[in-house]
Amino acid sequence: MPPAADTLRRTPLHDRHRDAGARLVPYAGWEMPVQYEGIRPEHVAVRTRAGVFDVSHMGEIETRGPGAERFLQRVLSNDVTKIAERGAQYSVLCREDGGVLDDLFTYRLGPDRFLTVTNASNHDKDLAWFRRQAEGLDVEVVDAHADWAMLAVQGPGARAALEHEASGELPPRMRTADLSVAGVDCLVCGTGYTGEDGAELMIPPDGAETVWDALLGRGVEPVGLGARDTLRLEVCFHLYGNDLSEERNPVEAGLSWCCKLDTGFVGSEALRGVEPEQALVPFAFTGPGIPRPGNPVATEHGSGVVTSGSLSPCLETGIGMAYVPVAANEPGSPIEVDVRGKVRAAEVRDKPLYRAKG
């Protein structure tokens, strides 16, 4: 049973969402805006103009101290030594057996200081894992979730809107900068989850409304978590809980590129020599219907399962991601998706399903 509304956590922008006519729903223990005007118009706003998402439910873990880099190199799958100061990096957090605990962005704020963004539903689990792995190392692991509100500003017009409000030059992609935005000191990160240009802002919670109001004043449109999901699916970004889980390893999820086995991270031994039977592939329907998570998949080489599915507002067809037998993972391969008893025709596609025009 979902928790009652009064036990759900609220972001500092809760009143703003209510004022903007948001439909608020429980999500990972938070009361979050799933949509304002509607998923499709909000999706189109981000693809063609600029949108702002309140993603303050996402967690942050700060890691600092002389052993911080060594520690993160041990827990994160990617090569943490390659993150430049003010740089950003994507990685997964693995169990010893290679199962995925979370997927994360880590920012290097200083030589011995890092900020890692967690998925809301995994934050407590990640924090406990970090602390356990940090035992005996000269590193401090700090729960920074309450220190930050987080806004994602995305779309071809996102940078221009932000530039009007920022005290200095915005960071390029995969870099960060300390800037004042609308007079509020923020950590501005050149990252996002939509395939569009833009930035993510880490904001002190008491400044979140000021930044939000300033962005809306620049014509940036509020966008809910519904469109966040359709936007990320069109560009084939993984969603933890759908496409990633503790029962799946990063190799079958197509994330080998961010798993540097030679760094010796937790899980790397298990992943060495893994020859997965399945692979996560994007697909699109060639006829009517909309795939949904859990739909069974049939291929010439055996069965699979849909992990993410939706209507694509840009492609105007059903799209999704599915685990299928490795032999069926070639783009163009026909597959069939059983949508509540109706067999729908689809084909495996290349990533991304939609390429941003920017």
Partner 1 sequence: MAESYPEDLKYHPEHDWARVEGDEAVFGITWYAQDALGEVVFFDPPTVGSQLTKDEVYAEVESVKAVSDVFAPLSGEILEVNEALAEGPEKINHDPYGDGWLVKVRLSDPAEVDVLLDVTAYRDLLQSG
**Looking at beta carbons only, is 225 or 280 nearer to partner 1?**
225
What is the C-alpha to C-alpha distance for residues 251 and 301, in angstroms, rounded to an integer?
Answer: 19
Closest contact distance (angstroms) between CB of 292 and partner 1 is 7
How far apart, in whole angstroms, are the C-alpha atoms of residue 4 and residue 69?
40
Comparing CB distances to partner 1, the nearer of 157 and 226 is 226
Contact 136, 38 (CB under 8 A): no
Are residues 318 and 312 in contact, defined by beta-carbon separation less than 8 angstroms? Answer: yes
Q: Least distance (Å) from partner 1 to the CB of residue 233?
A: 10
CB of 314 to partner 1, least distance (A): 12
Question: Any idea of the CA torsion for 160, 166, 171, 174, to the nearest 10 degrees?
Answer: -80
Q: Which residues bind partner 1 (CB under 8 A)?
A: 23, 34-35, 38-40, 43, 226, 229-230, 288-290, 292, 310-311, 313, 340, 342
**Minimum distance from residue 132 beta carbon to partner 1 (Å):** 36
Which residue lies nearer to partner 1 by CB, 165 or 229?
229
**In the complex, least distance from residue 144 CB atom to partner 1, rounded to whole angstroms:** 31
Q: Which residues contact 162 (CB under 8 A, 6 or more apart)?
A: 153, 170, 181, 188, 198, 199, 215
CB of 41 to partner 1, least distance (A): 8
Q: Given the complex with partner 1, which of 37 and 140 has the nearer CB atom? A: 37
* Extended strands (E) in 288-339: 296-299, 302-312, 317-325, 334-339
Which of 247, 294, 245, 84 has the alpha carbon at shortest distance from 172?
A: 84
Amino acid residing at 101: L
Q: Residue 352: how many CB atoms within 10 A of its CB?
A: 15
CB of 346 to partner 1, least distance (A): 15
Comparing CB distances to partner 1, the nearer of 202 and 233 is 233
Instruction: Give Cα 268 distance to the centre of its chain.
Output: 23
CA distances from 272 to 89, 256, 261 (A): 22, 11, 7
Of 14 and 43, which has the nearer Cβ to partner 1?
43
- The one-letter amino acid code at 340 reads R
Nearer of residues 55 and 311 to partner 1, judged by Cβ = 311
